[in-house]
Structure 1
Amino acid sequence: MKDKFEFAHGEASVIQLKDISASGRARLLDMAFARLRFSLFVMPVVSVVFVWYYGKINEDYRVLIWSALYCCAALVTFLILRLYREDQKKQSSEWLLITWLPRIQLVAAFHGLGLMVLLPMVSHTATIEFKYLFTLTLAAIVAGNATHQAPMLSVFNCFLIFSWHCTVLLMPWSFSSHWQFIMPLSVLYGIGMFKHALTSHRFFVRMIWLEEEGSRLAENFKLAKNAAETALSDKNQFLTTASHDLRQPMQAMGFLIESIIRRNIDAGLKRSLDDLKQSVRLATQMFNSLLDLSRIEAGAVDIKLRPVNLNSLIDDIALIFREEAVNRNLDLRTWNRKEKVFVIADETLLRQSITNLMHNALRYTKKGKILIATRVRGSCWEVGVWDTGMGVAIDDKEHIYSPFFRNEHAWRIDSAGHGLGLAVVARSAKFMNATYGFTSSEGRGSHFWLRLPAANSIDFSPQGLAVNNLFEEIKDFSRLTGSCLIIDDDPHVCVAWESLLWSWGVRTKCAPSGALALAVIQAGFQPQVIFCDQRLRSGESGFDVLRSLLHLYPEAHGAMISGEFNSRELEHAESEGYLVLHKPLEPDQLYAILSRWLQLKQN
C-alpha cells in the first residue's frame, strides 16, 4: 500500500515513503525487522507458558508441537538475520529494499500465521479460559508490533492480517458460544491497532525526513558558507592584489590638483580648487578605509597603534557629515581643544568607529543638535558624540553593542541599518585597548564615547611618518631646493610626480626600472631623495632597486612607496629601518617628508 500523510512544515505538503531517500527507507526496514525478529526470538519462551497451562488440562501434544515449531522459527530467523547483516555491509540501500522487503514481509506473514493457528488447533480441546488467555496475549503482541513494526507499514500489515484478522474470522469456530460479543470488539481492536500503527508510521517517516532535511540543510549551509568564504577570500584577494593599481590614479589625482593650486593665479578659482582638493582628500580617505576594512574582514589586518591627530580626524569626519546634517535640519557642531590632541590608536579603526557613532546619531535624531567633542579623562582622551535623539530604552541598554540588535523604535524611524555599527565600535575599541560606553535618557538623547590613551609625544620615526594623520594640513608650501629620483613604471603617475615636485622647486627625474634609474644617475643626475615603487613591471624588486641606489649614494634619503600592506618585502624594509609610504600619498605628507630631507629655498 502507499504510505501518504500530510506534514505541516510552513504549509501543508504530502510526503510519501518514496520521498525519503533509499538509505532512509532502508533504515525504516531495519527498524521494523528488529521488532519482528525480537518477537520471534521471544515466542519460544512465551510458548512454554501455554504448553504448561494446556498440559494441566489435556494430555495431547498439540501445543508442544506448536512450541517446537516456534523454536525452529527462531533458529531460522537467526540464520536469516546473519544473511541480512552480510548484505547490509555489501549491498546498496536500493538493493536491500528490492531484495529484503519481500522477504521480511513473508517472515511477518508466517509469524502472524503461526500465532493464529494455535486457536484452531485446540478449539475443541482447550477450555474457554485458555482461549481467552491466548487471545489477550495475541492482542498484546499485536499492540507491541503496531508501534515497533510500523516504521515499514507494509511489514506490520502482513503481520496484522495473518495474526489478528484471521483470528477474528475464525472466532465463530473458536468461540462458538460467545463469538457474537467477542468478534465486534475484536474488529474494533484491529481497526484501532491499524490506526495506531499508521500514526506511528507517520512519526517514523517524519523523523527520517527531518533528519534528511536537516542533513540537506546542513550540507547546503556548508556549501553556502564555503561559497561565501571563497567569495570573501576572492574579494579580499582581489582588493589586495589590485590595491597597487587602484591607488595609483588616486595618488596621481592628488598630486596634480596640488600642482594646479600652486600654479593658479586666478583668485576666483582658489575657493573651487581648495574644495576640490578637500573632496579628493576625503575620497582618498574613504577609499583607503574600504581597502583597509576588507583586510580586517579577512582577518589579515595588522593593528598598528600609533599617535593619531584627534583634532584633524574629528574635523574631517564632521566635514563629511555636515551636508547630511543640514539636509536633516540638524545642527552639527564640533568642539576641539586649541592644543593638538594625539591619542594612541589605529587610525583606520578609530576613523571607522567615530564614523559609525556619527551615523548612529544622525539616523536616530529627528530634530535638535549633534555635538562631537573631545575632553580629558585622567590619562586618556575621550571623544564623544552627543545627540538629542530618541535615546536608548532601559531594557535595550545591555544589548545595544550586540551585533544585529535594533530595538522596535529604531525600526520605525529608519529601516536602513542592520545593527552592526555599534558592534563594530565595540570590536574596534578592543583592538585598540580603548574603552567605550554610553549614557542615555529615553526620549531626550544619548552620549556615546570612546576613551583612548593619550600620546605623550608624537612619533616622527620612519614608521610614524607612514601614518597619514600625523601631519597637519600645510597652508603655505615654502619653496624647496634639491633633487629627487622617482622609480615608477606608470607614466601618468610620473607626470603627476614631476608636476607637483616642480611646483615646490624640486628637480625631478623619473625612471620605470632600476636599470634606467642607474642610467639617469650615470648621465650626471645626483639625487638627494629617492622614491621607489614596490611593484615594477620589469619584474624587479623595488626594495632591491632602492637598496642598490642608496648604496651608490649613501648620503641620499630614500623611501619605498606601495599600494599594498600585507607584503613580506615591505615588512623586511621596515625591519631594516627603511621608510615605507602607502599610496595614495597625500601632498601634505610628502611635503612634510621632503622638508626634512631637503633644504628650504631662501627667498
Structure 2
Amino acid sequence: MNSSDMASRPGWSLKHFLALFLVVVFPLLVFGILGIVQLRDAREAEVRQEASRLLDLVEAEQERIIEDVRHLLVALVETGAGRMPAPVCQDTMARIRARYPSYLTIHLSDEAGVVWCSTEPSALGKSVVDRPYRIEALETGEVATGAFMQARTTGRPAIPFALAYTGPDGARVGVVTVLLDVGWLEQYFAQKPLPQNAAVLFADRNGTIITRVPELPSLAGQPLPERFKPMLGGTSKGMEEAEGLDGVQRITAYSPIQAGVRDLYIHISLDKAVAMRSVNAATLRTSAIFLVLLLAAGLAALWGTRRFLRVRMQAEQSALKAARVLASTVDGVLELDRDWRITYLNDRAKSLLAQDFSLIGKRMWDVFPELKNDSVYAKAMEAMTRQVPTDSEFWGVRTQRWYWMRAFPTDDGLAVYLLDISRRRKAEEDLRRSKDHLSLALESAKAGTFDWDMTAGRGTWSEESCRILGLDPRESEATTETWMRIVHPDDLVPHGFAEWDRLVAERKRDARLEYRIVLPDGGIRWVTSIGRIRYDESGMPVQFSGLILDITDRKSLEEALRDAKAKADAANLSKSKFLAAASHDLRQPLQSALLFAGVLHRHVNDDKGRIPLASLERALDTLKNLLDSLLDVSRLDAGVIVPQLADFALGPLLDEINASYAPIAASKGLAFQVDQPTNGLAVHSDRLLLGRMLRNLVENAIRYTERGHVRVTCKPVRDGIAIRVRDSGIGIATEQLGKVFEEFHQVGNPERDRSQGLGLGLAIVQRLSRLLNHPVSVTSEPGRGSLFSVEVPGAVGEFVLPPPAVPEPMQPAEGSGRLAVLIDDDVIVLMGLRTTFREWGYDVIVAGSADQALERLRGTERPPDLIVADYRLRDRQVGTDAIARIRELVGHPVPGIILTGEIGVECERDAARLGVTIVHKPITPRLLHRAVQALLEAEAH
C-alpha cells in the first residue's frame, strides 16, 4: 500500500494526518531531548574532570614546593646555620637569596625570638617571639606549619614553616623559618595559565583565605564563607556546585586540609555558564532544527499524504543523523563511501585534522598518504572488507597528535570516529619516565623500597632492600621476626621500639629510623628506614611504607669529620695560645729596645757607633715587621686586613731582605744571594704584605737548608714579575707538596721541635697569596732543594724610580718644658719612654698605675700637657680609665695617647669613647714622635 492509496481511503482526514504526524514526530522529539540531556551530562562530567585534573596539578606542585621547603629547613639546621657567626650566616643567606626563588624568605631567630640572620636584611632585629609556629617548633623539634600571615618584609600573604636548631649542648636555642608567599602561584600560572573560566583559592587550616587567582580585592586574610566550611573540614577530596566568592555559579573541585596538602585547603572552580556555553548553543541549534522539522512536517501534512510521508522520511533521516552527531560531539566524525571518499565531517573532525570543507569528496588516502604506512590503514581496510568494527591508535604526522580511531561499517561505507588521546599518551610516557627515573635514583642512592602491614606483622621488601639487609629475597620471609633477627642487639630497643613508640604516640606521619644490621658474614652495615605511617580511625598504625637506604658510607664520613674537627679545634687552640703569648711577651721587650735605640742617637757621635746603631735599628725594624706578620694570622683568617695596592720599585724591598737575612745565612755557612733587577723593575702590590710573603719564603729556605745556597731572583713573566726563592735544602716529597701550606705542617720535623718554628710561615704566604691575588707555586725534589715562585703584577702605568732614600735624622721633639704623664706597668718600657720624652725636652711623671699617677700629680701644682698610657695595666685596670681619672682631677680634657699591643676591638671602642689616639706596639721613636706632634698640633688648633 502506497501513500496515494492511503490518501484515497475513506475516512482519511486531516485529523488522521495529524495523528500520524504526532506518532512519527513524538519519538524523534523524545530522542532529541534525551540526546540533549546526555550531551549536557557528558559536558558537565568533562567540566568536573577538568576541575579535578587542575586541582591535582596545583596540589602536586604545592606538595613539591612544601617538600623542598622542608628539605631546605633540615639542610640549614643540620649544616649548623644556627651556630654560624652572624656575618657568615648573613653572607650565606645572600647566596641562598641569589639562587632560590624570590617567593622564599628565610629567617633565623634566637632564643629571645629576635631575627638575627635573614635573606631579607629589613627583617633583622624584628621579634617573632609570639609566633605560634615558632613556639610549636621549639616544643616539638619537628617541622611546624603555621597559619596565614602577612609577611612584614614583603607585605604579601605567606605560609610559615619552622624548625628548631640546637646549641652546642643539644638544647633547642632558636628557630629557622621559611616563609612561602603566594609568589610561587604567580610563577606557576605564568608558565601554565589557567583557563579563562577557572579560579584557584588557597586557605589555611583555620579557614583564613591566603589568596585567590584571579585576585579579588581585599580577599586575603578574610575567613571563608560558611558555605565552604564543610569542604574545609572534610576528610576526602570532593566536587561541589555552589556560588563562588565572585557571586558566579561554579563547579568546584576541593581538597580539605586533611586530605591533600596537610593544613592547606585548595579548591579550583570553573564558571559553569562559560563551561556549558557550547552545549547551550548546541541545544538552541537542535531546538531550532526541531522547530523547522515540525513546521515542515505540518506543511507536508497539509499538502497530502505523499508529501507527508516523504517529509516524515526526511525528518527521520535528519533526526537520526542529528542524533549521531549529538551523541558523538566529543569525537571527530568522518563518513567514507566505499571508494574511500570523504562524504561528511563534523566540526570536531575538522579541528582534529586541521582541514576545512575542501576535504569533502576527496579520497582519504590521497589526502593523507602517510597513513598508508601506519597500522591505521590495515585496520580501516579490515573494517571495509570484512564489515567488522576495528580500532587503532596512530600518530598524526601533520598535526603532531596521537589519535584513537574507531571504524564502523555502514551500508554506504565506513563511519570513522577520531578521539585526541595526546594527553593520555603523554601522561603514560611521563609515568614510564618517572618509573625509570625512580628506579635509577633508588639504585644510585643504594636504596630499596618496603611496604609493611603493621597489623599482620609482615610485608614486602624490594630486591635492593634485601641486598642492603643482607637477605636472600628467595629464601627470606618479610616478617617482623626476620627484621628483629638481623638488627644489632644494641639498636633494637632504643631504635626499634622506643623511637617507634614515640612516633606512634604523637601520631607522626613521617618516620625515620636509623639502626645497624648484622650481616651474615658478621659485618655491620648502617641503614635508615624512611617512610610514612598510615593510621586507622582509632589511631593505631596499620601501614608503614617507604625506603631503606644504606648509610654506612655517610656514618663513616661523619666519624671522619668528627675526628677532623677535633684535630682542627686542637690546632686552633694551639695557635690561639701562641698568638696570645707572643702578643704579650714579645711586643713589650721589642718596644723597649726600639725606644732605647732611638735615645742612643744623641749619644753616638762617631761613624764607628752610628753604623752599628743603624744596623741595630734596621734589625729591630725587621723584627717588628716579622712579629706583626706572625700576629696578623688571626686577622688574615678574619678577613680584616685590606691590602693597600700601589706601584713601587722592587729593588729597595729586595735590599731590605738582603740586609736582614744575609747575616743569618752566613751564620749557618750558606751562600745567600739576592739578584737585583738591572732595569729597575716596578710592581703593583701592597709593599708591606708582599715583603711579608718574601721574608717568610726566605726564612723557610734558610731553616731547611743545612749546606749550599739560598738565592732570590726576579724574572719577567706574562704581565708581571716572578720572584723566585731557590734553595739547596732537604726538598719536599711529591705527596707533601699540597700540605706544606697548611698550618703547623713542617717537613722533616716529625717530633715537632719548636726550635724550628711553629710551621706558620708558608700558611701565612698562602693566605697573603689569596688576599693579594699573587699566585704561589712550588717545585721540589727531595735531597736537592725547592723552588718557590710568586707572580706579582707589573706596575699599572709608567713608574719613575724615586731617588735613593736618605735616612732622616732623628729630630728632637719640641717638648719646651711641657709636662707628660707616662703610665706603663712594664718597668723597662716605662724607663724607655721616660728617657725618650726627656730627650725631646719634656718634663715627665712616670707611674706604673692610675693610682700612682694621680698621687704624683697631686704632689705638683702643674697640670699635665700630655698623657701616654699602656692599655692593659695590672689589677685588671686599663689605660683609658687612667686618662679619664686624670682629666677629672685637672678639670679639662688633657690630650691622650694609648700605647698598646692589643689587637681586639675593646681597646678601640674605649679610646673612641674618650677621643684619644691609639698607637700600636711596637713603634719606633720616629713614629711615636710624629703621633705626639700631630696630637699636640691638633689640640692647639
| TM superposition score normalised by structure 1 | 0.49
| TM superposition score normalised by structure 2 | 0.34
Q: Which structure would you say has the larger RCO, counting Cα contacts within 8 Å and 6 or more residues apart?
A: 1
Higher strand share: 2
Query: Rg larger in 1 or in 2?
Result: 2
Higher helix share: 1
